[in-house]
């Protein structure tokens, strides 16, 4: 009995935490979605047919895209418990031949989907906080001139607090979002009681009839319907934190019912009072509850923004470890939670971009045109990658059922994508531009590092024969341990060759250390380290980390000491040798001029290896080398 109670309490706690992190974005969509559907790019007459038609499209969008695609199907594609588009890409590539055309296409798609997330992480805070504070205008129009300054002040405060971490504030996220969804349900439910006719929209026939009667308008308005689905990708991206059961239970038991009640409540209000279209969400509340609702909505949108900002940190961290981004300053803000990180460079770049968005678009309605394009692109890419993964996971009838469902969802995603293409000229260009820039940088870095590795490898000597020659006729030996950081496990590091050439000495013990990243999120400590003895005084250490883990050389060396009795890494007797490459133009360049310049700039500004791998800086010797690209 006690065990069952404890298990139930654990599940409830995970569900509550998931409400605060996973559902913040999609949970604040009612602030603006129905208004944009009926009064946005193509204003529709507020009549029964149009209101019921749009509500039906929104509801069945939630059921098919969020419930069926993400909660029921995609959440089953977990990479050692982790989700997200990069984890899905790793799963898809695992089934393919490295370097094949199909693998290259899927890699490009997956990285582009990840790159688009940066555009989403800029627009979400801007549109969410703006839409919440626009409720002030319902209280009194005298506050209208202050909406933009207050929005910017809230956003500056949100980004400024990131360096302190979200551990303490995060404990409040779940209860606040529980209150938020409860308020959504109560406000919507009360209006539905007043006008239950609106429940007819649960029948998909109303949505289909709207499409048949208004095919052109319906196609364009799909770009607004997708606003109700923004945040769906977070369900999959945050699976590693809370697990599939907690996320799916929270969705079906609270989030989906609350969203449905609120959207339908707004529809019921519009059927009773078409003038409420100016802001149907806030007009759901009675006069006395308007100010508290604005305050609660602002807090909820800050929470939604926090989830996206944290996601941008996590995405960048994964990109660094998977080799698609140069090393960056990553600060861990919690001693107990691995996932809580802070990246100053990303943080301030996002803040400046978000403020420029607020100043440029000036209203949530204008931002709605820019919003959704990045999201629906990522959704489409997720479906394509899911095909590649589930084609190998399932067999027989289950395979055909899942692939058939994904085929239908691919058609829906394609329609949503096509409708959102129309929004490019009206603001959709912004997330597309950010995504293209991020994609170019990531692919340039990946390509540059591969070429750099090839050039360095071409000039290196085989490790095995070299060690034997040094053992047979060693140079002058000095006290201590020399640790040579190297990417290759079977060739001599350039730093060692330079050290022998210029200093003509060799330490008593020599260690070749390679730190690698696996295509899984976490590697158990038992599988972390491999130690090989290459000679009497030569050792090779291969340390493997998951793409979501923090890499630490001191941690690796401490583990090696427990495995290899002959190796002791006394801080004052251990020196670390690293190579530092300078990129110069080759006679026959392997990269175009502009890509080489970008790669060289990224290479120069990457966080130093000493900081990234937590190597004591006063024990490091860097050996420079020029590499032609």
Most confident of 182-196, 232-246, 472-486: 182-196
Most confident of 55-64, 138-147, 281-290, 379-388: 55-64
pLDDT at position 339 over 70: no
Give the tokens for residue 466. Answer: 């070299």
Left (φ > 0), alpha (ψ -120 to 50) or beta: where does 549 sit?
beta
Tens-digit pLDDT profile for residues 511-528: 999 999 887 778 888 889
β-bridge mates for residue 578, sequence order: 622
* CA neighbor of 367 nearest in space, from 379, 357, 354: 357
SS (H, E, C) 326-349: CCCCCEECCCCCCCCEECHHHHHH
pLDDT at position 5 over 60: no
Residue entry with tokens 């989030």: 255
Which 3 state secondary structure label does DSSP give 510? strand
* CA max distance for the chain: 94
Cβ neighbours of residue 349 closer than 8 Å, sequence gap 6 or more = none
Looking at residue 185, its pLDDT comes to 96
pLDDT at position 54 over 80: yes
DSSP annotation of 254 reads I
pLDDT confidence tier of residue 224, bands split at 50, 70 and 90: confident
C-alpha to C-alpha distance for 185 and 191, rounded to whole angstroms: 10
pLDDT at position 166 over 90: no
Looking at residue 8, its pLDDT comes to 56
Average pLDDT over residues 422-450: 87
DSSP annotation of 285 reads S
pLDDT confidence tier of residue 394, bands split at 50, 70 and 90: low
Backbone angles phi, psi at 417, to 5 degrees: -65, -45
C-alpha to C-alpha distance for 350 and 578, rounded to whole angstroms: 33
CB 258 within 8 A of CB 185: yes
CB 124 within 8 A of CB 305: yes
C-alpha to C-alpha distance for 210 and 207, rounded to whole angstroms: 5
Tens-digit pLDDT profile for residues 265-291: 999 999 999 998 888 999 998 888 888
* CA neighbor of 455 nearest in space, from 552, 266, 290, 583: 583
C-alpha to C-alpha distance for 320 and 237, rounded to whole angstroms: 17
SS (H, E, C) 543-609: EEECCCCCCCHHHHHHHHHHHCCCCCCCHHHEEEEEEEEEEECCCCCCCCHHHHHHHHHHHHHCCCH
pLDDT at position 99 over 80: no
Looking at residue 561, its pLDDT comes to 87
C-alpha to C-alpha distance for 235 and 225, rounded to whole angstroms: 19
pLDDT at position 241 over 80: no
C-alpha to C-alpha distance for 434 and 312, rounded to whole angstroms: 13
pLDDT at position 546 over 70: yes
DSSP annotation of 461 reads P
Average pLDDT over residues 53-63: 94
Looking at residue 196, its pLDDT comes to 93
C-alpha to C-alpha distance for 413 and 367, rounded to whole angstroms: 21
**Other C-beta atoms within 10 Å of 264: how many?**
27
Residue entry with tokens 């060693």: 474
pLDDT at position 115 over 60: yes
pLDDT at position 252 over 90: yes
pLDDT at position 182 over 90: yes
pLDDT at position 306 over 70: yes
Q: CA of 543: how far to CAs of 540, 558, 568, in Å?
A: 10, 12, 17
Alpha-carbon torsion (127, 129, 130, 133), positive or negative: positive
Looking at residue 619, its pLDDT comes to 84
C-alpha to C-alpha distance for 610 and 587, rounded to whole angstroms: 32
Looking at residue 431, its pLDDT comes to 85
* CA neighbor of 607 nearest in space, from 329, 313, 331, 314: 329
pLDDT at position 479 over 80: yes
C-alpha to C-alpha distance for 234 and 117, rounded to whole angstroms: 11
pLDDT confidence tier of residue 1, bands split at 50, 70 and 90: very low
Tens-digit pLDDT profile for residues 558-614: 898 888 777 888 888 888 988 877 777 777 677 888 888 898 888 888 888 888 888
Average pLDDT, the chain: 84
Percent of residues, the chain, with pLDDT higher than 90? 21
C-alpha to C-alpha distance for 225 and 208, rounded to whole angstroms: 14
Percent of residues, the chain, with pLDDT higher than 70? 94
């Amino acid at each position: 009995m006690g065990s069952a109670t404890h298990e139930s309490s654990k599940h409830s706690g995970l569900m509550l935490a998931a409400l605060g992190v996973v559902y913040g974005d999609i949970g604040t969509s009612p602030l603006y979605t129905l208004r944009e559907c009926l009064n946005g790019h193509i204003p529709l007459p507020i009549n029964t047919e149009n209101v019921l038609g749009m509500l039906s499209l929104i509801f069945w969008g939630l059921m098919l895209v969020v419930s069926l695609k993400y909660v029921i199907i995609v959440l089953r594609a977990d990479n050692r418990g982790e989700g997200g588009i990069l984890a899905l890409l790793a799963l898809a590539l695992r089934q393919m031949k490295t370097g094949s055309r199909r693998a290259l296409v899927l890699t490009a798609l997956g990285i582009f989907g990840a790159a688009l997330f940066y555009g989403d992480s800029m627009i979400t805070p801007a549109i969410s906080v703006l839409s919440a504070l626009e409720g002030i205008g319902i209280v009194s129009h005298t506050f209208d001139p202050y909406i933009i300054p207050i929005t910017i002040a809230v956003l500056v405060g949100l980004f400024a607090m990131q360096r302190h971490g979200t551990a303490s504030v995060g404990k409040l996220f779940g209860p606040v979002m529980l209150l938020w969804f409860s308020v959504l349900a109560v406000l919507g439910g009360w209006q539905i009681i007043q006008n239950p006719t609106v429940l007819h929209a649960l029948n998909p026939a109303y949505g289909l009839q709207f499409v048949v009667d208004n095919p052109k308008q319906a196609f364009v308005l799909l770009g607004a319907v997708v606003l109700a689905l923004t945040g769906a990708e977070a369900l999959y991206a945050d699976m590693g934190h809370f697990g599939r059961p907690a996320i799916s239970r929270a969705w079906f038991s609270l989030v989906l019912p609350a969203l449905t009640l609120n959207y339908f409540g707004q529809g019921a209000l519009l059927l009773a009072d078409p003038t409420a279209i100016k802001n149907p969400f806030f007009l759901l509340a009675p006069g006395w509850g308007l100010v508290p609702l604005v305050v609660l909505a602002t807090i909820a949108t800050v929470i939604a923004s926090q989830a996206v900002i944290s996601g941008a940190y996590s995405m960048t961290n994964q990109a660094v470890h998977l080799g698609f981004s140069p090393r960056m300053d990553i600060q861990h803000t919690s001693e107990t939670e691995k996932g809580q990180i802070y990246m100053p460079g990303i943080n301030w770049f996002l803040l400046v971009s978000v403020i420029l968005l607020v100043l440029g678009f000036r209203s949530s309605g204008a931002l709605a045109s820019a919003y959704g394009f990045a999201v629906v692109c990522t959704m489409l890419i997720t479906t394509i990658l899911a095909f590649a993964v589930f084609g190998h996971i399932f067999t027989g009838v289950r395979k055909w059922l899942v692939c058939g469902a994904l085929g239908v969802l691919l058609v829906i995603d394609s329609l949503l994508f096509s409708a959102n293409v129309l929004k490019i000229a009206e603001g959709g260009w912004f997330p597309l531009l950010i995504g293209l820039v991020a994609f170019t940088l990531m692919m340039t870095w990946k390509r540059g590092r591969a070429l750099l590795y090839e050039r360095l490898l071409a000039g290196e000597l085989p490790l095995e024969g070299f060690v034997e020659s040094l053992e047979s006729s060693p140079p002058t030996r000095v006290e201590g341990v020399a640790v040579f950081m190297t990417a290759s496990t079977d060739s001599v590091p350039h730093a060692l060759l330079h050290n022998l050439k210029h200093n003509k000495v060799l330490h008593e013990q020599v260690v070749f250390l390679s730190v690698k990243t696996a295509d899984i999120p976490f590697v158990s400590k038992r599988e972390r380290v491999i130690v090989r003895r290459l000679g009497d005084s030569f050792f090779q250490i291969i340390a493997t980390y998951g793409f979501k883990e923090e890499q630490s050389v001191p941690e690796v060396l401490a583990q090696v000491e427990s495995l290899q009795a002959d190796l002791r890494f006394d801080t004052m007797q251990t020196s670390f040798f690293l190579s530092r490459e300078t990129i110069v133009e080759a006679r026959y360049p392997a990269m175009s001029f502009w890509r080489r310049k970008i790669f060289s700039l990224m290479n120069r500004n990457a966080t130093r290896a000493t900081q990234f791998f937590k190597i004591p800086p006063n024990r490091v010797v860097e050996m420079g080398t020029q590499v032609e690209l």
